[in-house]
Amino acid sequence: MEPDSLPAELILTHPHQTIGNVVLDWTPQPGSYLEFKGQTYAVLERRHRYHLKSGRYRLHKIALYVQSAQPPTEKSLIQGRWVIGDANCRFNAHSELVRCAVNPSGPCDSCRFYEPWEPQS
């Protein structure tokens, strides 16, 4: 295994089952998407698993809790992170996982509930 590689166990959240193991060259965060065996998954949670070796705990692998998903086509950059949908809408959740409460599946550009967000001064 290369120094920058990270073993990961992929665990489907519903039904709760391990779908496989992979070695990654990046550290996925909740809200990230990854491809595995031709399917796209959204990362919902990441847990670290450690082993005690030579008197020290060392990262052994990570567990990624995922669900089947389609990557969003609409994204906005807010304070250095990507969120789903149009972040200029009052109802946007500013989240990597949820678009909004009134139109969670989108799209934003034709949403009848769209209201421009105006920051309070």
* C-beta separation of 107 from 120 below 8 A: no
The DSSP output letter for 4 is T
pTM for this model (two decimals)? 0.67
CB 41 within 8 A of CB 68: yes
The string of pLDDT tens digits covering residues 27-84 is 888 888 888 998 989 899 999 999 999 999 999 999 999 999 877 778 887 777 778 8
Cβ contact 20:37 at 8 Å: yes
Phi, psi of 22 (to 5 degrees): -140, 165
Contact present, 69 and 42 (Cβ < 8 Å): yes
